[in-house]
Structure 1
Amino acid sequence: MEISVQFATSLDSPHHIAIAEQLGYDRAWLFDTPHQSPDVWMMLALAAQRTATIGLGPGALVPTLRHPMVNASAAATLAALAPGRIAVAFGTGFAGARAMGAAPSTWAFLREYVRTFRQLLAGETVEWGGAQMQMMHPAGFAPPRPVAVPVLISALGPKGFAVARELADGLFTVNGETGFAPRFAWAALGVHGTVLRGDESLHSDRVRAAAGPGNALAYHATHEFGGDVVALPAGRVWLDAINEHPPASRHLAIYDQHLVGLNDADSTAWDAGSWQAIPQTTLTGTATDIGDRVAELAVRGITEIIYQPTGPDIPGELEAFIAAARRPDHASKVS
């Protein structure tokens, strides 16, 4: 089991990635969320200059945000800065599209996009938008083609899994979805949460900051994918707060502070008891609890855990999580 980290991309991300490398994390992924973050490729390039061993990649790129040549050129550039350490994940666009009021890309579009991206890095001439193109970078402008960059695809349903099986080197999944993991040699799962300290309460201020954004993700995702938010603790309170906003701007209220903090609706729901969902929506518990759950996920076919820390003490969250996830006394359970 690889233990990786994911960050909501910020100006501090290169520094946090350097800390993650020192702590022994295998890979660092950064969100592609231009509506709330600095450019993902810029921050990865800075991280490449500050690190030597940790894997790096955007997770997950949203195809509708950039021409495939732009992402192919950026991936090749990062591969030149950090040889052998790069991977790229693609998704249809959860926050990266919906937060700007846009629909996610179709799986048909993503399939063609990823195929084109891979062909460009292979040095092939491809057709896009009715015209032929190829990476024409001379020596010194990009690595010579082919450029080997593994590709993962973020998927939750049958269509996505089919595209991942067809085109990807691995699966990048979230929301606790592990059913398709055994079909992939590389199955990465994004998780959120925090290691509890002693008899710390789930509704403490520290847990609110460290696990609250991951818990809120369940409400955002359930709403956006047409699920029953009311079935979640304080779900009615959250939904009523969101529905106070006009439909045309409702997405701005939902995605405010997404995976960074709690927006107004999240905070209102937290005070009404949404924190009770934390054991189900995040990987939160004692160090023993987290070690056991990581071992269980390995048995289900997950080969890479991707932990996203939040709150005011990112280095502390990183240190506590990797210590719990790699506890020596649960290594035998994994094997």
Structure 2
Amino acid sequence: MDVSCAFATSSDTPAHVEIAEELGYQRAWLYDSPAIYPDVWMVLSRCAERTSRIGLGPGVLVPSLRHPMVNAAAIAELAGQAPGRVAVAIGSGFSGRLALGTRPMPWRQVADYVRCLKALLAGETAVWEGATIRMLHLPGFGAERPIEVPILIGADGPKGLAVAAELGDGVFSAAVPQPDAAQIADWRALLTFGTVLDDGEDLTSPRVIDAAGPAAVVLYHAMYERGGAAVDALPGGQRWREAIEASPEHERHLAIHAGHLVKANPRDEPHVAELVPFASSMALTGTAAELPEKITGLAAVGVTELVYQPAGSDIERELRVFAAAAGLSG
């Protein structure tokens, strides 16, 4: 199983990707959520300039954010900068849509977008929104076509997996392995979270809350967006919901998704210490001695690429200690 990393895209991400390459991570995936992070393609280009081996790609692109030609041109340039190192993941959108006040896209629209994008990268003529389009880029204006870049589908349910089966080169899932993915794709990436505990460290220590809290509170965000009061079943969930619902409905998405996978926001902070121990049972949180068993367990259920997102105020520490626990050698 490959061990890769993911980043809540920031201005510091190129330096962190350079460290990840030195540590032996296979690939670096960067999040695409313009309301929260800087432009993913600009940062990926900076990453390409600072590295020579590590794979690079956006994970996951949200089709509604860019015309397919915009992403095709960006892929062409990154593939020219980092030949043989680029992969792309595309999904229906979580924070990339919700932080803009819109719901995830219908999967049929995602499928149409992927078909168009693949045709463009192949150098073919495509039709989008009733218009005939083709990449007209001359030599020196991006990688020559056909551009062979793997496209994974960010799927966490049957509709997404169906699109992956038809159009994808793999599946990119978040937090929970998809058992059916093994039937449709050889490349099965799983985004994971957590922190490696120091000897004797408690799950509610300030460092653990800082590092594991940003992912833990996404349980609140996701459950509320999908089920409203269902979030009450989580530790601190009812009090969290009451704080969120004090925000005007037309601005509530801003209160929910601020700080997404970077830090607990002001609505999250009063409850994060209560939630982290619960969330840690589902995350790659544990001592360096405990982590190999958890990682082996993911391989046993069909994960072929473990994608670890470090979080908190010391990203370099998280990358280094996780790499050591996972047995990476730079």
Offset of residue 232 of structure 1: 1.2
Q: Does 1:192 align with 2:193?
A: yes
1:168 matched residue in structure 2: 168
2:102 matched residue in structure 1: 102
Offset of residue 316 of structure 1: 0.9
After superposition, the C-alpha distances for 1:108-144 in whole angstroms (9 at most, x for unaligned) are 1100000100000000001111110100101111222
2:232 matched residue in structure 1: 230
After superposition, the C-alpha distances for 1:121-177 in whole angstroms (9 at most, x for unaligned) are 000001111110100101111222100010001111111100011100000001313
Q: Which moved more, 1:244-253 or 1:172-181?
A: 172-181
Q: Distance in 1 between matches of 2:161 and 2:225?
A: 20
Matched residue of 1:136: which SS?
A: coil
Judge conservation of contact 1:155–1:173 (CA < 8 Å) in 2: yes
In structure 2, what residue type is equivalent to 1:83?
P
2:38 matched residue in structure 1: 38
Judge conservation of contact 1:6–1:307 (CA < 8 Å) in 2: yes
Name the CA shift for 1:249/1:285 in 2 (closer, same or farther; >3 Å).
same
Matched residue of 2:242: which SS?
A: helix
Runs of 4+ in 1 over 4 A off after TM superposition: none
* Percent of matched pairs sharing the same residue: 50
2:289 matched residue in structure 1: 288
Judge conservation of contact 1:171–1:188 (CA < 8 Å) in 2: yes
Q: Distance in 1 between matches of 2:327 and 2:321?
A: 10
1:332 matched residue in structure 2: none
Judge conservation of contact 1:181–1:300 (CA < 8 Å) in 2: no
Q: Distance in 2 between matches of 1:311 and 1:185?
A: 32
Q: Which moved more, 1:45-54 or 1:273-282?
A: 273-282
Offset of residue 105 of structure 1: 1.3
Matched residue of 2:172: which SS?
A: strand
Using structure 1 for the length normalisation, give the TM-score: 0.95
Q: Distance in 2 between matches of 1:246 and 1:283?
A: 36
Judge conservation of contact 1:215–1:281 (CA < 8 Å) in 2: no
Q: CA RMSD in A?
A: 1.3
1:6 matched residue in structure 2: 6
Using structure 2 for the length normalisation, give the TM-score: 0.97
Matched residue of 2:197: which SS?
A: coil
Judge conservation of contact 1:60–1:90 (CA < 8 Å) in 2: yes
After superposition, the C-alpha distances for 1:46-95 in whole angstroms (9 at most, x for unaligned) are 10010000000000001000000000110010000000000000011100
Q: Distance in 1 between matches of 2:241 and 2:326?
A: 34
Judge conservation of contact 1:87–1:150 (CA < 8 Å) in 2: yes
Offset of residue 220 of structure 1: 1.0
Q: Distance in 2 between matches of 1:267 and 1:59?
A: 27
Q: Distance in 2 between matches of 1:181 and 1:318?
A: 27
Matched residue of 1:153: which SS?
A: strand
Q: Distance in 1 between matches of 2:180 and 2:326?
A: 22
Matched residue of 2:25: which SS?
A: coil
Matched residue of 1:140: which SS?
A: coil
1:302 matched residue in structure 2: 303
Which blocks of at least 5 consecutive residues in structure 2 are unaligned? none
Judge conservation of contact 2:177–2:303 (CA < 8 Å) in 1: no
Matches within 5 A, 1:186-335: 186-226=187-227, 228-271=230-273, 273-326=274-327
Offset of residue 327 of structure 1: 7.4
Q: Distance in 2 between matches of 1:251 and 1:221?
A: 11
